[in-house]
Structure 1
Amino acid sequence: MTPKTLVLAALVGSVAATGALAKGGHGGMRGEMPAFEELDANNDGQLTLEEIVAFREAHAKQRFAEIDTDGDGQVTREDVIAAARDKAGDRAEKRAGRMFDRLDANEDGTLTEAEIATAKAEHADRRGDRMERMFDRADADGNGAISKDEFEAMQAMKKDRRKKNRG
């Protein structure tokens, strides 16, 4: 699956992404990362991999529900294209259509959360678990949790990397 396919999958709520079906493996959490406090579900001042994965999965379900405007548990090609256009502008329409076609495993003209989950699992099998690797890099002291300081350091590093890539 290409990075473009992963972007669409995140868009339609694999998420999970992760999610991960989002380009870069963030399971639908592209762009701005949620605040530390949003991810810290038990408010203990530490992020575990489980908290991040749970947040990512909830985000993916929410995004799928937003795109599934009639609530039937399926999104059509048109739903996906409209959501892509809303999120990324008109130029995303053609790309979203091609990505939809690749994800529609049974070729019935709709995507279900199960089809997205299958595509996500296949991607994870081929590329390894990027979320775990990202978590391990952020967990500078190796204690199995990310502190607020470690989280902020990770954010700063990502911001610096984006600047370098743009400039």
Structure 2
Amino acid sequence: MKNNKLTLTIFTLLLTIGVYAQGPPGGGGGRGGKGGGQRGGQPDASEIFSKLDANNDEVIDKDEASKDKRGKISEDFDEIDSNDDSFIDLEELKDSLENRSSKRKPKKVSPEKLIKEVDDNGDGLLNELEIAVKRKHELSENFAEIDTNGDSELDLEELEAYYANAKEEEPKRRKRD
């Protein structure tokens, strides 16, 4: 009887060690136990999304984003939420991660959000001082080009036209690279 218990204990111990040595299902081991995924340890968007979407409603709200251990999604929530609906969907998260990992690809810019962020005096227009204070270098460098009506202020229509043109020119620049 003692031999059976000893044999059973050893068998269980070996089986347990074998199972834990394989790591979690789906491979995610290695890299010091941090979330694997792709690109040298950076988890992919769907992996992050599934962890943060606690109520499974297919969007991440600000409360769910605050549970991001690194704090980057919560910190950059308004930037990631490119359509200004107060939620981050999977596509917005994917775009955000791609923009961070690829210096070439421009991030989506919402002219409405940009005006809200930069317009200190609340007139719905951006002047050079407001842009400089908020360190919007791209706007500062291209101010004269964007200000098509020459009134020394950028309005929503001018910003929309500028970013639409920049989006159209991006594929042309990539072909030259």
The TM-score, its normalising length taken from structure 2, stands at: 0.35
Choose between structure 1 and 2 for higher RCO, CA contacts under 8 A separated by at least 6 residues. 1
